[in-house]
Structure 1
Amino acid sequence: MPIRLKKLIGMLLIVSLVVIYALVATTIATYRLSDQPWYVHLLYFFFSGLLWVVPAMLIIRWMAGPRAPAEDGEL
């Protein structure tokens, strides 16, 4: 697959991931955290704010493609 096509698909996947994830996380917070103390809100938004990075990282790794083999003497 050409690298430009992979990057286009990856970009569309990441944008979709962020939008859908934000809507789901906000919906869960609205319905489940309405009567919780402030520190529960803080922990929820801290962890939910970091959790989207994992699938985004996998998409970016896929977009980058396989690594080129290292030549002699290179690290």
Structure 2
Amino acid sequence: MRTEPTWRIPVGILALLAGLILYGILVAIFAPPLIGGWPVWAQTLVYIVLGVIWIRPLRRFLIWMETGRWG
């Protein structure tokens, strides 16, 4: 365990927050025109997938925040 804080953690948190805001804005702009005419159940599935898909690359990012390595 490290005993001193690193710059990667606050920078990583800010980058994660900025990335999630940007991702949310992009989904809010581009998804409704594409799926607006679909049945509600299909729209729900699309939004669930889009709401969870950002977690996939998060593991490597969190490893970088803790160790400084991408793997």
Q: Does structure 1 residue 26 correspond to structure 2 residue 47?
A: no
Structure with higher Rg: it is 1
Instruction: Assess if the C-alpha contact under 8 Å between 1:3 and 1:63 holds in 2.
Output: no
After the TM superposition, list the runs of 4 or more consecutive aligned residues in structure 1 that deviate by more than 6 angstroms: none
Aligned-pair identity (%): 17
Counterpart of 1:49 in structure 2 is 51
Q: Does structure 1 residue 59 correspond to structure 2 residue 56?
A: no
SS of residue matched to 1:35: coil
Gaps of 5+ in 2: none
CA distance in 2, matches of 1:17, 1:58: 15
CA distance in 2, matches of 1:45, 1:58: 24
Q: TM-score, structure 1 length as denominator?
A: 0.74
- Post-superposition shift, 1:3? 4.5
Deviations 1:38-75 (A, max 9, x none): 12111111110101112333221110106xxxxxxxxx
| Cα RMSD after superposing both structures | 1.8
Count of residues in correspondence between the two structures: 65
